[in-house]
Amino acid sequence: MLDQIDEEAKALETTTKKGFKAWMPKRVVFTPDAMNEQYGQQIYERALSLNLNVELLKNNRITGLRGETERETYKIAKNTLAVVNAPKGAFNLRPIPPSADWQFHLAEGCPAHCQYCYLAGSLQGPPAIRVFANLPAILENTVKFERLNQITSFEASCYTDPLSLEHITGGLAETIRYFGQRPNSHLRFVTKFDDVEQLLHLPHNGRTRFRCSLNADFVAKRLEGGTPNVAARIQALRKMAMPQLRGGGGYPVGVVLAPIMPIAGWEEAYTELFNQIEQNLDFDYDLTFELITHRFTPGSKEILMGWYPNTSLDMDEAARTTKRNKFGGIKYVYSKEQMQLMKKFFEYQIGSRFPTAKILYWT
């Protein structure tokens, strides 16, 4: 079992040493509704120019996503990009504390293969990647949720990693431009991807916070398949944060450390990560941190075990404490003592290395 994981980790390392290859789905399907949208047609043109295998569907139902086993369904779905219209319910935005006031969605699903994926259990059905073609309506709808006389924040990465799809869709750039013209609204998104060149010169007007999802190298190599390595992500963070006068994007930035895990030697591993971040932010920046420890639910564990039967991810209930959410559901978290130890460590590292940075939350 471990051999297979090591082989996967080696393959990932080889890919990242050669440079990360952007995701190219094996199948891209367009619903008739999506093709009625200008943005849907734009994605269609891009998909053709990338020589992707494009299908125009006769109706708005996506089929052909299931295989004979869970694992097969996973493989088929993760290789499928469906361009569809967001349903009506997507226009009724939900709050997303503590990250932002509201969440909205450019897409659902993600091409990466993180073995702890937080989407497990959040989205129904096979994990295909669905991009919403009615983007202009989705963006305009956010106006209705603006608060009077104060900045309202909108989170765009609850159900996807928007940068992972940008080379095919261009929708993130469109969204950043849109929020650049909105004085009272701020956009936030988080990514594990590194292809930020296309975002550097956008007129964001300081209203988009780019957040980079980072972890100790050991965790990223073993558990975050299909993503650029940590060093490449930190380079992306550096480019986005660097002032425009120096050729960077001049964005407010953030680091999302997630999921934090007390693996053997965790203090050294995370100290090394902080060393790398610090070395690469050698200029004035506007930086926040979000600190999220690993947790799982009975439902997410079951789904993840179906997707990644050989995972080395520690989901031993006996080693955790339970917490209940407001609907009575259980989640498994680290013990109070372990949490306090880690919190102290992270707060100290951040406070001593990045005195102007703000820690938004620890959970």
Binding site for ligand SF4 (CB under 6 A): 110, 112, 114, 117-119, 161, 192
User: For residue 43, how many C-alpha atoms fall within 13 Å in the half-sphere facing its CB?
Assistant: 34
Nearest distance from residue 60's CB to ligand SF4, in Å? Answer: 25
Is the separation of the CB atoms in 212 and 234 below 8 Å?
yes
Nearest distance from residue 23's CB to ligand SF4, in Å? Answer: 11
Q: What are phi and psi of 272, to 5 degrees?
A: -60, -40
Smaller CB distance to ligand SF4: residue 119 or 214? 119
Listed in sequence order, the residues at least 6 apart from 6 whose beta carbon sits closer than 8 Å to its beta carbon are none
Smaller CB distance to ligand SF4: residue 44 or 74? 74
Nearest distance from residue 138's CB to ligand SF4, in Å? Answer: 19
Smaller CB distance to ligand SF4: residue 8 or 161? 161
Residue 211, beta-bridge partner list: 190, 254
Smaller CB distance to ligand SF4: residue 142 or 191? 191
Nearest distance from residue 243's CB to ligand SF4, in Å? Answer: 28
Smaller CB distance to ligand SF4: residue 213 or 349? 213
Beta strands in the chain (DSSP E): 27-30, 54-56, 80-84, 94-96, 100-103, 107-108, 113-114, 129-132, 152-155, 185-191, 208-214, 224-225, 253-260, 287-293, 321-324, 330-333, 358-362
Smaller CB distance to ligand SF4: residue 238 or 294? 294
Q: What HEC string does 144-164 produce?
A: HHCCCCCCEEEECCCCECHHH
First-residue to last-residue Cα distance in the chain: 31
Nearest distance from residue 110's CB to ligand SF4, in Å? Answer: 3
Nearest distance from residue 7's CB to ligand SF4, in Å? Answer: 20
